[in-house]
Amino acid sequence: MSGDLPLNINIKEPRWDQSTFMGRAQHFFMVTDPRNVLLSSEVLEDARVTIENYRQGIVQPGLTEDQLWRAKYIYDSAFHPDTGEKMLLIGRMSAQVPMNMTITGCMLTFYRTTPAVVFWQWVNQSFNAIVNYTNRSGDAPITMNQLGAAYVSATTGAVITALGLKSLTKHLPAIVARFVPFAAVAAANCINIPFMRQRELKYGIPITDEEGNRLGESASAAQQAIVQVVVSRIGMAVPAMAIPPVIMNALEKKAFMKRFPVLNAPVQVGLVGLCSMKVSSLEPELQERIRQSNPKTTTVYFNKGL
């Protein structure tokens, strides 16, 4: 080994204590740091080499612990955790804040006309499809036919939901219509995510023991993962899509908003801002295989995807 940095730093886990709120907050601030979108291919490649070398017991001369952790978060921001392939730029976690703020703000602003509803729901579902594909769990490939069918189904479902709800709110108070984008997004997530990850439901996702050793693939884990993702996606949309409509409904009555209606969209945009399961819940044949190879393992772990 070259260099003075020890090899016992566990870069498989976050740098900060995940049992505390501040530790989790620091971790996710690093994971979603929008500045990582601007990093060059050379910086990403350097981070990849640094991390892969460290995992193999090779330490670059002069490498410090802070530099190692920085390389780890750069690597995690751009490369898929299961496949190791470089992820699409706008599908990365570091792109979520600027992309979601822009798209969500526009959906909440341009909801009054049918063409605007169709366009922004299409943009949102196109973006979601890219994110779901980029952050899919497991290492099973997905064909272009499967990707196309999932995208068309999810986009069609979102547009139909949005237009259907829009027609139902014509004779209701104006504030009710503001929640149509949120309802459409919630319904679309229930369609989009299972469709985009249908291969995982068929072939399963990788499961590991506490040490990260791969034990096999489980369709049951995939089902649990996808349900958790759907629920968390809807929950994450609440602050950005359910609170701003109430605020904007009050702001639009103010004189300055009536004088400068062009501020509507920027204000809307400004307002937006590892799992486990018991072995006994897995498929019978997989349970038997784990009992034979790892009899002490009672809980397995998996990457549920984004």
Q: Report DSSP letters for 159-227, one per residue.
A: HHHHHHHHHHTTTS-HHHHTTHHHHHHHHHHHHHHHHHTHHHHHH-EEEE-TT--EEEEEHHHHHHHHH
Per-residue pLDDT tens digits for 63-84: 888 899 999 989 988 888 777 7
Take residue 287 and report the two structure tokens written for it.
Answer: 């349970």
CA-CA-CA-CA torsion sign (175, 177, 178, 182) = positive
Helix (H) or strand (E) holding 21: helix 21-31
Q: What is the pTM of this model?
A: 0.60
* Residue 2, pLDDT above cutoff 50: no
Q: Which of 129, 125, 36, 120 is nearest to 86 (CA)?
A: 36
Lowest-pLDDT range, 47-61, 149-163, 208-222, 291-305?
291-305
Asked if 223 contacts 163 with a C-beta cutoff of 8 angstroms, the reply is no
Name the pairing type of β-strands 214-218 and 299-302.
unpaired
Say which residue the tokens 């989009």 belong to: 192
What the block records as the tokens of 224 is: 């649990």
Strand partners, 79: 86
Q: Is 302 helix (H, G, I), strand (E, B) or coil?
A: strand
pLDDT digits 0-9 by tens, 86-133: 888 888 888 888 888 888 888 878 877 888 888 988 898 888 778 877
